[in-house]
Amino acid sequence: MSKQNQISRRLVLVPCPYEGHLNPMLQLGTVLHSKGFSITIAHTIYNSPNPHNLPDFSFLPFPDGLSDHDLASSDVVAHILTINDNCKKTFERRIEQLMEEKRLQGEIISCIISDELMSFAEDAANNLKLPSIILRTTSAATTFARCRLVTIKEEGGIPFPFQGPFSHDLVPGLHPLRFKDLPFSPSPDFERFVRLIAIAYNKRTSSAIIWNTMTCLEQSTLDQVQQQSEVPVFPIGPIYKMAAANICSGLIKDDRSCLSWLDKQPHNSVIYVSSLGSLASIGEREVSEIASGLANSEQRFLWVIRPDSIRSSHWIELLPKGFQDVVGDKGCIVRWAPQREVLAHPAVGGFWSHCGWNSTLESITEGVPMICKPWFSDQRVNARYVSHVWRVGLELEELEREEIERVVRRLMLDDEGKEMRERAKELKEKIEVSTREGGSSCNYLDELINFIMLI
């Protein structure tokens, strides 16, 4: 891009206000900034990203209309629908003002890039005659699984929730997903979930789709996506690897002390446990099972317990009495970890994850095999792919201490775990090739930049 273009082109990025969506959008902003674009992050007041972490961007907050009453519920699907209902007009006005302001400064807004769940931004772009692009932050396989889940429900053939023996049957056409792997929403209201799916996948007017996945992981599914899509699809993942800087939302402060604890541990000896991600929560019984399973496995562990993620407590008050004395220096507990650095640390030999798509990508990209215990939504699809397609992880079926002890030891000590670690290293190398010059994600990124310059 010429110097003149570098000064004059701005992109407005509209993330969905949750950790697993904010991170890839902010990382995308960093990638595009390094290619010469100016970046504005247009964000809801709720879960605003921390601007101090992101000095190269400007920020445009807009009211999201979420009341204290809305936020008192943990129904994320309801929150996202409310944001879509509330934001269109105010967002459009803010962007109109920004366009005018930038025009006076000799800058143009090239396009709006919005999270797939923030469809109001696409509507506003249409009204303002601005091009728009969608960012998808889940796997390509999840797209097909979500759409299938809705049709199965609509056909009424199978009662929800999928329980009983047939839940282990394969879903026709979605190999290797079983009915129990379909991406059920955490929302109790299925109609809301259907609305959300419609927002994400109904015929859209955007000019292109950016996808945080890559051909070396999802070649055949991406081929299908590309055949069906009327607009270009750019799989440029893992976006965090394409970004020069290690960017995160700053919604929760990292506890970096765990990195010096890791420095003192032997190679591949630590299981990193972040089993809830940024949204899931558990009760006292489950935390007690996890704690006992980890202690009984006698493996070193770094355990993330997010504040308020154990119901009826603020942090670790409900851990079994004496747990920390029993494990001593073999265990480290933090509120939030610098996860990508943790996974890249040589002491880490395994990752017990809820299998959010970012965590899954990060683990595979750093060559760390996994224990998969999904809770809801696309985590189930990702877990199945990790264990049965890429074969770099073990499924934890029951949250029981004996099973946890067994699975942790299988991953950290047995030959089976070593083989998975080998396969994870091979995948890591493929991803490295893909993100280097001439690799698939890198080439798609170049195509994306050319595309944005021409729209």
For ligand UDP, the binding residue among 11, 15, 17, 19 (CB under 6 A) is 19
3-state secondary structure of 264: coil
Beta bridge partners of 59: 41
For ligand UDP, which stretch binds (CB under 6 A), given 3-11, 49-57, 257-265, 354-362? 354-362
d(CA 8, CA 108) in angstroms, rounded, equals 6
**Least distance in angstroms from the C-beta of 291 to ligand UDP:** 17
For ligand UDP, which stretch binds (CB under 6 A), given 142-150, 220-228, 273-281, 397-405? 273-281
Sheet holding 108-115, edge to edge: 58-62, 38-44, 9-14, 108-115, 132-136, 208-211, 233-235
Residues comprising the chain, all counted: 455
Closer CB to ligand UDP, 130 or 276, in the complex: 276
Closer CB to ligand UDP, 23 or 213, in the complex: 23
Closer CB to ligand UDP, 265 or 377, in the complex: 377
**Least distance in angstroms from the C-beta of 39 to ligand UDP:** 19
- Confirm or reject binding of residue 94 to ligand UDP (CB under 6 A): no
For ligand UDP, which stretch binds (CB under 6 A), given 35-43, 148-156, 190-198, 358-366? 358-366
Helix (H) / strand (E) containing 204 = none
The label of the residue with tokens 């206000």 reads 17
**Least distance in angstroms from the C-beta of 146 to ligand UDP:** 15
**Least distance in angstroms from the C-beta of 239 to ligand UDP:** 10
**Least distance in angstroms from the C-beta of 378 to ligand UDP:** 8
For ligand UDP, the binding residue among 304, 348, 368, 386 (CB under 6 A) is 304
3-state secondary structure of 266: coil
For ligand UDP, the binding residue among 91, 301, 357, 390 (CB under 6 A) is 357
- Confirm or reject binding of residue 362 to ligand UDP (CB under 6 A): yes
- Confirm or reject binding of residue 115 to ligand UDP (CB under 6 A): no
Closer CB to ligand UDP, 38 or 377, in the complex: 377
Closer CB to ligand UDP, 36 or 186, in the complex: 186
Helix (H) / strand (E) containing 289 = helix 284-297
CA dihedral 63, 92, 204, 184 (to 10 degrees): 0
- Confirm or reject binding of residue 340 to ligand UDP (CB under 6 A): yes
Contact indicator for 383, 363 with CB cutoff of 8 Å? no
d(CA 359, CA 223) in angstroms, rounded, equals 24
Contact indicator for 297, 412 with CB cutoff of 8 Å? yes
Task: Give Cβ neighbours of residue 229 (< 8 Å, ≥ 6 apart).
Answer: 209
Closer CB to ligand UDP, 22 or 124, in the complex: 22
**Least distance in angstroms from the C-beta of 336 to ligand UDP:** 4
- Confirm or reject binding of residue 212 to ligand UDP (CB under 6 A): no
Beta bridge partners of 300: 270
CB contact burial 325-352 (16+ within 10 A = b; e otherwise):
eebeeebbbbbbbbbbbbbebebbbbbb
d(CA 175, CA 177) in angstroms, rounded, equals 5
d(CA 393, CA 383) in angstroms, rounded, equals 8
For ligand UDP, which stretch binds (CB under 6 A), given 19-27, 257-265, 287-295, 318-326? 19-27
Helix (H) / strand (E) containing 372 = strand 370-372
Site for ligand UDP in 248-267 (CB under 6 A): 248
- Confirm or reject binding of residue 336 to ligand UDP (CB under 6 A): yes
CA 365-22-132 angle, to 5 degrees, is 105
For ligand UDP, which stretch binds (CB under 6 A), given 2-10, 142-150, 276-284, 295-303? 276-284
**Least distance in angstroms from the C-beta of 358 to ligand UDP:** 3
Query: At 179, which amino acid appears?
Result: F
CA distances to 143, 219, 386 from 224, in Å: 11, 9, 20
- Confirm or reject binding of residue 303 to ligand UDP (CB under 6 A): no
Task: Give Cβ neighbours of residue 10 (< 8 Å, ≥ 6 apart).
Answer: 37, 38, 39, 40, 102, 107, 108, 109, 110
**Least distance in angstroms from the C-beta of 245 to ligand UDP:** 14
For ligand UDP, the binding residue among 358, 363, 387, 441 (CB under 6 A) is 358
**Least distance in angstroms from the C-beta of 52 to ligand UDP:** 17
For ligand UDP, the binding residue among 339, 387, 435, 441 (CB under 6 A) is 339
Rg (Cα) of the chain, in Å, rounded?
22
Closer CB to ligand UDP, 274 or 297, in the complex: 274
Contact indicator for 108, 227 with CB cutoff of 8 Å? no
Binding site for ligand UDP (CB under 6 A): 19-20, 23, 248, 274, 277-279, 304, 336-337, 339-340, 356-359, 362
